[in-house]
Amino acid sequence: MSNKQTLSFQAEVAQLLHLVTHSLYSNQEIFLRELISNASDACDKLRFEALNNNALYEDAPNLEVRVSFDQAAKTLTITDNGIGMTAQEAIEHLGTIAKSGTKDFMGKLSGDQKADAQLIGQFGVGFYSGFIVADKITVESRRAGVAPEEGVRWTSGGTGDFEVEAITRAARGTSIILHLREEAEEYLNAWKLKSVIAKYSDHISLPILMEKEEWKDGELINPSDENGGRQPGGMVKTGEWETINKASALWTRPKKDITEEQYQEFYKAISHDHEAPLTWAHNRVEGNTEYTQLLYIPAKAPFDLWNRDKKAGVKLYVKRVFIMDDAEALMPTYLRFVKGVIDSADLPLNVSRELLQESRDVRSIREGSTKRVLSMLEDLAKHDKHEATAGDDGVTDVVDADDKAKEGKYTAFYSEFGSVLKEGLGEDFGNRERLAKLLRFPSTSSDTVSVSFADYKARMKEGQEAIYYITADTLAAAKNSPQLEVFKKKGIEVLLMTDRVDEWALNYLHDFDGTPLQSVAKGAVDLGKLQDEAEKKAAEEAAEAFKPLLAKLKEALKDKAEDVRVTTRLVDSPACLVVQDDGMSTQLARMLKQAGQQAPESKPVLEVNAEHALVKKLEGSVHFHDLAHILFDQALLAEGGLPADPAAYVKRVNALLA
């Protein structure tokens, strides 16, 4: 590398830096939490790489983080002796945002400083948080295992560019030197720094060191002076370093010794979330596989929750040695929102991602962790509506606030993560029944997402033999679907499913507690005992009388409809579309096509209301062909679809209007 280069920040970084420096002054102290957390991660990475190359420790086997300040120079320095960076790594890590979901994050920024500050907090500002208090940051680093001459110095004022130059650095690791703004000079104070570190970083398992200070009296200058002739005294550094945190991993401490605030701050440190979690569980599991869990359920969904390329999972430690972030094998994909730590006593220290996929111990940890998370959710759901909890994984001692504090939390959780939880119906056969009890939907009796299958079943009408539901693109489309008309007339509740994942997920759930689930948009409507004999007889007579007209409709719509039949499900609408019992719904077919995937070619069934004036007008009409196609296209529009030939539809409607 040439001695000095000036490079530009990635556009997203420049925008993020502007927001950091202008929007986050209300919570300045988080910069120290973020930088110490990064320093700890660097040490963890060195420890892991050194498992296969002990020479990386060089002559400093004790990993640590040091915090120092210089009042004269107005600088605050955070130094670690972790893995360090090469020049290229400094350019990549400090000049660009590699975290997935960045574009989505940037797209959500509104220009409202207060609102954007909340978004930044959810995204995690990491290294860039230093610019909250500094108008210039210098980073000096050398990667473990390379020559001292291969060190690098990175410097930026947090605007549009940064400088990188080669330096000689004897010690491995990284020093971050913050040149503090005038309004941030309170951090040039040992007491202030210790209080912030105690609040946010006491859980860090490495020692965080600061130089000791002691009081020194002022020097005698002029004995005849009325003030004693002394210069004022003050605190001076002794040259000795002391550990100012507990330096033990939080999850290894007894629960009784950990405060609620410490649990919350640990969560914020590992998740880079500014909000406290909804709930958490901390327990030690013993048996064939021994491990400690500290698992959190966030309050808000991250921006990259739906990013397929995003790695997700909990942090894995083995015997308190950090192994990897995002250990996906320890948590099923549908629980990818869970944050936390799992520390195993049984896995080999040099465990690889490949071994994680195959290990029997890992499968045991995954099953236990999944059950623990479901138990946490069941506990929240129970306190939301005081329901009976479902299932038990045999592990006790959930650490949480009192029961009253849990009220409303499951509703908050479900609004953020309910769609992801539904994926478990197709992924986790063993826990399908527990997951089904956790699902919530709006219904024709409740606009809010609050109706469980158990709620629905408890108020089913006498003689009702199925749980009825409808899927649609929006709540409005579901509520106003013609397919619901007979159900509304008879006061039969129907669940309204509007998440994109619903249609797929319900392929894996055919009944709940012995009661079948029935889509109102599939097959001929059969209300069984809810339909009296007079209604059945009238429907049969209408179908018989309507046979000649049905034959003409089938012929006119043979390219669009698989069949045309009379229905009793319609009250106010002339027609609707349904599919056969074993067919793919038109909504799912549309979703697959929108995603660029193949959908099986199938035609819907057109059901018509023999009592509707428009249908009666068909017989003998000179515009029969046009009316038949308008009838079909309007039924398609009513369920959120679009005519295959919109221009032809408009032309037919205009001709009839004229």
Question: What does the pLDDT look like over 46-74, one tens digit per residue?
Answer: 988 998 899 999 999 999 999 999 999 99
User: In the chain, what percentage of residues exceed pLDDT 70?
Assistant: 81
Q: Say if residue 337 carries a ligand binding annotation.
A: no
Is residue 342 within 8 A of residue 330, CB to CB? The reply is: yes
For residue 159 the two structure tokens come to: 């605007």
Q: Say if residue 64 carries a ligand binding annotation.
A: no
Q: Say if residue 127 carries a ligand binding annotation.
A: yes
Q: In what order do the strands lie in the sheet with 575-578?
A: 563-566, 605-608, 575-578
Q: Say if residue 641 carries a ligand binding annotation.
A: no
Q: Which range has the worst mean pLDDT, 53-67, 497-511, 536-550?
A: 536-550
* Site of tokens 């410490």: 262
User: Which residues fall within 8 angstroms of residue 131, CB to CB, at 6 or more apart?
Assistant: 17, 20, 21, 137, 158
Q: Say if residue 394 carries a ligand binding annotation.
A: no
More confident residue, 305 or 118: 305
Residue 472, classed as helix, strand or coil, is coil
Q: Pick from 180-194, 218-232, 537-551 the range whose average pLDDT is largest.
A: 180-194
**At 219, is the pLDDT very low, low, confident or very high (cuts 50, 70, 90)?**
low
Q: Say if residue 34 carries a ligand binding annotation.
A: yes
Can you give the residue ranges of every domain in the chain?
Answer: 4-217+230-243, 250-419, 441-527, 530-657
Best CA proximity match to 448, nearest among 512, 362, 384: 384
What is the DSSP code (8-state) at residue 284? E
Whole-angstrom distance, CA of residue 231 vs CA of residue 55: 51
**At 417, is the pLDDT very low, low, confident or very high (cuts 50, 70, 90)?**
very high
**At 194, is the pLDDT very low, low, confident or very high (cuts 50, 70, 90)?**
very high
Q: Say if residue 124 carries a ligand binding annotation.
A: yes
Q: Write the CATH number of the domain with boundaries 441-527.
A: 3.40.50.11260
**At 351, is the pLDDT very low, low, confident or very high (cuts 50, 70, 90)?**
confident
Is residue 641 within 8 A of residue 601, CB to CB? The reply is: no
User: What sign results for the dihedral spanned by CA atoms 329, 332, 337, 342?
Assistant: negative
pLDDT at 138 > cutoff 90: yes
**At 387, is the pLDDT very low, low, confident or very high (cuts 50, 70, 90)?**
very low
Q: Hey, what CATH class is 250-419 in?
A: alpha beta
Backbone angles phi, psi at 227, to 5 degrees: -95, 15
Is residue 214 within 8 A of residue 235, CB to CB? The reply is: yes
Is residue 125 within 8 A of residue 20, CB to CB? The reply is: yes
* Cα 368–Cα 370–Cα 376 angle in degrees, nearest 5: 105
**Domain made up of 530-657: CATH architecture:** Up-down Bundle (1.20)
pLDDT at 114 > cutoff 50: no
Confidence (pLDDT) at 401: 44
Best CA proximity match to 183, nearest among 227, 135, 222, 142: 135
pLDDT at 118 > cutoff 50: no
**At 568, is the pLDDT very low, low, confident or very high (cuts 50, 70, 90)?**
confident
pLDDT at 123 > cutoff 60: no
Q: Which range has the worst mean pLDDT, 258-267, 372-381, 497-506, 573-582?
A: 573-582
Q: Say if residue 528 carries a ligand binding annotation.
A: no
Residue 237, classed as helix, strand or coil, is strand
Q: What is the mean pLDDT of residues 524-552?
A: 75
More confident residue, 46 or 235: 46
Strand partners, 605: 563, 578
For residue 646 the two structure tokens come to: 């919109």
4-217+230-243 maps to CATH 1.10.3720.10: no
Q: What is the mean pLDDT of residues 193-219?
A: 85
Q: What is the mean pLDDT of residues 7-14?
A: 75
**At 222, is the pLDDT very low, low, confident or very high (cuts 50, 70, 90)?**
low
pLDDT in tens, 163-187: 999 999 999 999 999 999 999 999 9
Is residue 200 within 8 A of residue 265, CB to CB? The reply is: yes
Whole-angstrom distance, CA of residue 276 vs CA of residue 267: 8
For residue 90 the two structure tokens come to: 């400094």
Q: Say if residue 441 carries a ligand binding annotation.
A: no
More confident residue, 563 or 389: 563
pLDDT, averaged across the chain:
83
Best CA proximity match to 140, nearest among 153, 122, 156, 158: 153
Whole-angstrom distance, CA of residue 482 vs CA of residue 65: 66
Q: Say if residue 353 carries a ligand binding annotation.
A: yes
106 burial type by CB count under 10 A (0-12 exposed, 13-18 middle, 19+ buried)? middle
Q: Say if residue 101 carries a ligand binding annotation.
A: yes
